[in-house]
Structure 1
Amino acid sequence: LLTKDFKYPDTKAHEFVITRLKERGVDLHQLAKIAFDLQQQFIPELTEADCYEELLNVMHKRELLNNAMVALELDRL
């Protein structure tokens, strides 16, 4: 049974994506701020901290990691 706190065990893929994003100057806090700015009108009780926490959760999803790795490698090539 999976819980909300379950993270995929593929830490190498996660580290790869985070490292490559940082190398390109992408800050996860900035991404969370963008999400907050886009969603706050629809969810008034939303906070930037909520967005950051959910971003971290999404950054562990296998499908996102696979897509991000492909995109980052294509960009590198």
Structure 2
Amino acid sequence: MTPNARVRQIHRWLSLAFTLAVIANLAAMAAGLQAAWIGLLALVPLIPLLGTGLYMFALPYLGGRRAGHAAEGS
């Protein structure tokens, strides 16, 4: 598995964990619970999700320059 594919897979699993944490937070709010840790639970996957998302966002811009130079030479 290439590093880019690994980052994409990690990003997918983190987004699933974040979605489940948000659903748990909404369910707790609907039940009237005032547990602060449930609200903070969504931050655990959100922080690395931000990192992997920014990495994938930058890939086309960083890789496009290299691919463009290779295409000019042929």
What interval of TM-score do these two structures reach, taking the shorter chain for normalisation? under 0.3
Write 1 or 2 for the structure with the bigger share of helix: 2
Largest Rg, 1 or 2 = 2
The alignment's TM-score, normalised by the length of structure 1, stands at 0.27
